[in-house]
Amino acid sequence: MNAIRVWWENRFLAELEARERKRAQRMPSWRTRQRRRALVAVLVIAELAIVVGPLAVWPRQLDAAGLSLVFVPLVAVTVAHSLLRTLTGRMSSGFSSLLDERERKLRNRASHIGYHVLGCLMLVEIVYLLVMRNQPEVATQGAVLLGALVLIGGTAPMVVLGWQLPDDEVEDGH
């Protein structure tokens, strides 16, 4: 047991830290608050499109055009989320032991906000399903809506971090 802990602390966390340092050098011109906020806007708009798109065309069958209302925003969410994860660095994906106290506090706050966003969205879905319970296909609509809301709740901490973090400090190489 002690050997596993030593391996974890020495080897695994050191490898994660090295990987994070390498990732932190990617896309230096994008590491501004303005660019991160633009990605946050793309992410939020795409997530709203995932929720609204299928519900807007639901009375008729979801054909290829209807499914594109989910697929295209889903691709946008994937790209924006991946870029935001890279740009927010270890704050969004690192282990707590690799973060300093300020970073840990910011990440915990973002996670707390994400948890509350998810809880509120689930209440909205419950009300929607109760109101629409006698409609045909409500179970399928609920499943699509649930998937979209879980996606939104899962990316909410990243949205908060991407919006709030200041510009990265530029290292002068000394």
Region of residue 170 (phi > 0: left; psi between -120 and 50: alpha; otherwise: beta): beta
Q: What is the pLDDT of residue 12?
A: 73
- Which tens digit of pLDDT belongs to each residue from 69-111? 778 899 999 999 989 988 887 676 666 666 778 888 888 899 9
Cβ contact 79:134 at 8 Å: no
Percent of the chain surpassing pLDDT 70: 84
Is 39 within a domain? yes
68 band by pLDDT with thresholds 50, 70 and 90:
confident
Q: What is the mean pLDDT of the chain?
A: 82
Total count of domains within the chain: 1
Is 174 within a domain? no
Domain that residue 104 falls in: 30-89+98-164
Is 171 within a domain? no
Q: Say how far apart CA 36 and CA 163 lie, in whole Å.
A: 7
Is 14 within a domain? no
Is 108 within a domain? yes
Is 43 within a domain? yes
Q: What is the pLDDT of residue 174?
A: 44
Is 53 within a domain? yes
Query: Helix crossing, 33-57 with 138-164: angle to 10°?
Result: 170
Is 12 within a domain? no
Average pLDDT over residues 28-52: 89
Single pTM value for the model = 0.77
